[in-house]
């Protein structure tokens, strides 16, 4: 039995975050990619069935905590 790994990647809207997300997806893993603008994150990584782009600004306490997982559900 194979289990799919799920990656939580912060700062996935540019730079290394995009590269890591794309590599994880290419390896067959699921990715929860976060950034200040979820639409920009999704556009940077590209469409994929195993991708969930979620708004997260770690400098705003309203974005962090349990409500992050509520948005991802």
Has residue 64 been placed in a domain?
A: no
Has residue 57 been placed in a domain?
A: no
Has residue 12 been placed in a domain?
A: yes
Domain holding 33, by residue range, is 1-48
Has residue 73 been placed in a domain?
A: no
Q: Model-level pTM?
A: 0.81
Has residue 41 been placed in a domain?
A: yes
Has residue 66 been placed in a domain?
A: no
Number of domains present in the structure of the chain: 1
**pLDDT tens-digit map of 4-49:** 899 999 989 999 999 999 999 999 999 999 999 999 999 999 989 9
Has residue 53 been placed in a domain?
A: no
Has residue 59 been placed in a domain?
A: no
Please state, in angstroms and as integers, the Cα–Cα distance from residue 47 to each residue in 2, 20, 40, 60, 71, following that order.
Answer: 24, 15, 12, 27, 19
**pLDDT tens-digit map of 58-67:** 777 777 666 6
């Amino acid at each position: 039995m194979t289990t799919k790994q799920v990656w939580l990647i912060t700062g996935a809207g540019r730079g290394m975050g995009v590269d890591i997300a794309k590599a994880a997806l290419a390896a067959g893993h699921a990715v929860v990619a976060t950034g200040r603008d979820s639409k920009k994150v999704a556009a940077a990584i590209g469409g994929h069935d195993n991708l969930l782009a979620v708004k997260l600004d770690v400098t705003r306490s309203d974005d962090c905590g349990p409500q992050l997982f509520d948005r991802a559900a």
